[in-house]
Amino acid sequence: MVSSRQRLCVPDDLAVGASVALSAAHAHYVRHVLRLKAGDAILLFNGRDGEWRAELAESTKEGQEKRALALLVRKQLRQQHCGPDIDYLFAPLKRARLDFMVQKATEMGVARLRPVLTRRTTATRVNIERLRANAIEAAEQCGILRLPELYAPERLESVISRWQHTRVLIFCDEQSATGDPLAILAGLSPGPLGLLIGPEGGFDDREREMLSLKPFVVKISLGPRILRAETAAIAALALVNAALGDWR
Amino acid sequence: MVSSRQRLCVPDDLAVGASVALSAAHAHYVRHVLRLKAGDAILLFNGRDGEWRAELAESTKEGQEKRALALLVRKQLRQQHCGPDIDYLFAPLKRARLDFMVQKATEMGVARLRPVLTRRTTATRVNIERLRANAIEAAEQCGILRLPELYAPERLESVISRWQHTRVLIFCDEQSATGDPLAILAGLSPGPLGLLIGPEGGFDDREREMLSLKPFVVKISLGPRILRAETAAIAALALVNAALGDWR
């Protein structure tokens, strides 16, 4: 049995008979955390070719630490598939909470992670490689096959001014009294979506006005309690996946 | 202006003119984190009497560290209100993730936090005081007025055998292929609810069978991707609040 934790995301193409040389970090994980031996199985994915069963080719005995570890790709277990077509737009949070938010958005199956800088965004520097590492970690742990695409941070106004009008942008407005969010989502047709979650301090009035004037923006409310940004992200993605996405 | 972060949960009864002596930890927070001075305002709540504006009575100058700080309760800003009547049943996770899950369930407005021990629960010791501290922290930060009631950990079978049949128990079954969760929730009448989220390893077959035989159990699925327990908690509470609770 291969547990769902024994899953690695590798950059290599995956096909029957391919040999995948492991990075130092993966080799350490395979040798010292999973303690796999030659012939033991592990799952591989790369975000493109589905999920594969592979076997450890090298012995992992003491004294062979320096030798490169390789995995032999044996059999495809799952075909690549797309999740929901959701652009997830978020104001970056401080480090640990941003890590967490990226992991959770990946778990919830978003297609793209797009940091947007708003007037009240406090964390303006975003380490894209760190975001990527968090997305990969979540995908490895949760059996996700598609890695979300990562965008460089961009100002909200700029993102909105170049928005493709056929993609509905769901704006979670903490000041909105729009009523039943499911009724609003039920009125939309399934298709490409964006989801915008604001910074901890909320959007400012000019941003809210700018957004409310756009024909592709649909406001929803996430209830009467204040939610922290990472909670709002999961909650909104749950509603969107359930009402319009692949939870139906 | 009193920011939403300047909110303290105190054990005292709150009424106009009451004087609230602060604990050492609160006094430290008020003096050294918020740096309040005599006459400055702060919000107080206790889970029973709504939200109140209070003012710092003592000066916080150097040299007065040892003097007890007191707050004078001035005015009620929000009446106490109840959130949704949801018993949230969860298998305890390891420390940091359990902290997080309790904070998030509090943010999402549950009425009761009930740790249940399942066959695959790995963390069986639960520090109730730590759960309480996390619930209070989340309530302070998120403007929640009602603190969830905390139950001692109990075996799942025991909880289910004494379950009140008028309270529908929504069982998030990771192996369920029950289809559209919103359609299932839409078929229920609003009223007292329970929500059961399993341990990381899932429920075992005997547990799943035992649950499926109960007339008060309704199974829902949270989509095709594996969700970690704390993510499933927020996602399921979002669907329940939106379909049956106070997000409508």
Helix H or strand E encompassing B243: helix B229-243
Chain B residue with minimum CA distance to A234: B235
- Given this model, what pLDDT does residue A69 score? 86
Q: Cβ of B190 under 8 Å from any chain A Cβ?
A: no
Residue B59 has pLDDT above 60, yes or no: no
A-chain CB neighbours of B232 within 8 Å are: none
Residue A19 has pLDDT above 70, yes or no: yes
pLDDT in tens, B163-179: 999 999 999 988 777 68
Best B5, B86, B247 residue to mutate vs chain A (most A CBs within 10 Å): B247
Both tokens assigned to B47:
């889970």
- Given this model, what pLDDT does residue A2 score? 46
Measured distance CA(B132)–CA(B11) in Å, rounded: 13
B-chain CB neighbours of A237 within 8 Å are: 235
Inter-chain contacts counted by CB atoms under 8 A, chains A and B: 105
Q: Which domains does chain A have, with CATH numbers?
A: 7-78 (2.40.240.20), 86-243 (3.40.1280.10)
Measured distance CA(A116)–CA(A152) in Å, rounded: 9
Measured distance CA(B129)–CA(B113) in Å, rounded: 13
Q: Cβ of A105 under 8 Å from any chain B Cβ?
A: no
pLDDT in tens, A152-209: 999 999 999 999 999 999 999 887 776 899 999 999 998 999 999 988 888 999 999 9
pLDDT in tens, B93-132: 888 889 999 999 999 999 999 999 999 887 778 899 999 9
Chain A residue with minimum CA distance to B237: A235
Q: Does the beta-carbon distance from B142 to A225 stay under 8 Å? A: yes
Instruction: Tell me which residue of A85, A84, A105 sits closest to A93, measured CA to CA.
Output: A105
Q: Cα dist. B238→A3, A48, B6, B248 in Å?
A: 29, 31, 27, 11
Measured distance CA(A105)–CA(A46) in Å, rounded: 18
- Those residues whose C-beta lies under 8 Å from the C-beta of residue B199, and which sit 6 or more positions away, are B91, B93, B118, B120, B121, B122, B229
Percent of chain A with pLDDT over 90: 73
Residue A139 has pLDDT above 50, yes or no: yes
Q: What is the pTM of this model?
A: 0.89
Measured distance CA(B9)–CA(B215) in Å, rounded: 39
Residue B212 has pLDDT above 70, yes or no: yes
Q: Does the beta-carbon distance from A227 to B107 stay under 8 Å? A: yes
Mean pLDDT of the residues in chain B: 90
